[in-house]
């Protein structure tokens, strides 16, 4: 970890809100939806001790919390430190007659980028058996030092988030693959440094994925 890893910054939540264009019902009865299985793989979640998950009582959201999701560049750092990802495969037990889709993202984190250093946060998601993923991407170029403060109101049918629903009456896995990357652009100095990291106050980067529901 470089010197940036020791920074203690107050966190301001970043919210990417994407409203669905379809007409949604109220959703299943609370408690009838469960995360039945979760697998995680990637450099941002190297073992089970580096992440945790939770589903809300009203079945409208689940949270994935990371503790080692950090990407950085700088003198002496290997190329592998510049990008981290964690591919999450989540099996949801959903009542018959309902579909779900990811409708909302909330990201929390901090970035400190030198001149001509760029940070990128990308999330792909797709359902098992579907070849075209939904996608969200945010890019920031330094110099900048700040907590994430983003609001995105693009709907699910936009180019960023194609409308993707789970198949009716079929239990399939939902895969979410977030990644963070830091890159030196042309013209950056030899000693340029940058980091996009988790919440440096409590050491966690939280992503809350809201679920939108509709009848089949």
pLDDT tens-digit readout, 52-77: 877 777 766 777 788 888 999 999 99
Domain enclosing residue 78, as ranges: 12-211
Confidence of residue 182 (pLDDT cuts 50, 70, 90): very high
Residue 6 placed within a domain: no
**pLDDT of the residue at 168:** 81
The mean pLDDT of 31-52, rounded to a whole number, is 82
Q: Are 101 and 25 in contact (CB under 8 A)?
A: no
Residue 216 covered by a domain: no
Count structural domains, the chain. Answer: 1
Asked whether residue 140 is assigned to any structural domain, the reply reads: yes
Q: Is residue 4 part of a domain?
A: no
Q: Is 76 left (phi over 0), alpha (psi -120 to 50) or beta?
A: left
In a domain, 3, yes or no: no
Widest distance between CA atoms in the chain: 58
CA 90/CA 152 separation, integer angstroms: 24
Q: Tell me the pLDDT band of 208, cut-offs 50, 70 and 90.
A: low
CA dist 51 and 127 (Å) reads: 21
Confirm whether 183 is domain-assigned.
Answer: yes
For residue 54, being part of any structural domain is answered with: yes
What pLDDT does 62 receive?
74
């Amino acid at each position: 970890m470089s010197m940036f890893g020791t920074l203690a910054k107050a966190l301001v939540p970043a919210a990417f809100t994407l409203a669905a264009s379809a007409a949604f019902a109220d959703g299943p009865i609370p408690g009838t939806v469960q995360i039945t299985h979760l697998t995680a793989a990637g450099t941002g979640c190297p073992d089970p001790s580096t992440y945790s998950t939770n589903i809300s009582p009203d079945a409208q959201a689940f949270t994935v919390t990371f503790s080692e999701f950090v990407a950085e560049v700088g003198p002496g750092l290997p190329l592998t430190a510049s990008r981290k990802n964690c591919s999450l495969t989540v099996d949801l037990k959903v009542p018959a007659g309902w579909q779900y889709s990811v409708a909302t993202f909330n990201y929390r984190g901090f970035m400190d980028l030198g001149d001509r250093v760029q940070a990128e946060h990308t999330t792909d998601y797709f359902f098992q058996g579907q070849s075209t993923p939904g996608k969200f991407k945010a890019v920031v170029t330094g110099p900048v030092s700040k907590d994430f403060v983003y609001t995105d109101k693009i709907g699910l049918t936009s180019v960023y988030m194609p409308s993707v629903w789970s198949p009716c009456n079929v239990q399939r896995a939902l895969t979410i693959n977030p990644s963070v990357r830091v890159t030196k652009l042309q013209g950056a100095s030899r000693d340029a440094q940058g980091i996009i990291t988790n919440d440096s106050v409590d050491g966690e980067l939280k992503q809350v994925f809201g679920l939108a529901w509709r009848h089949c």
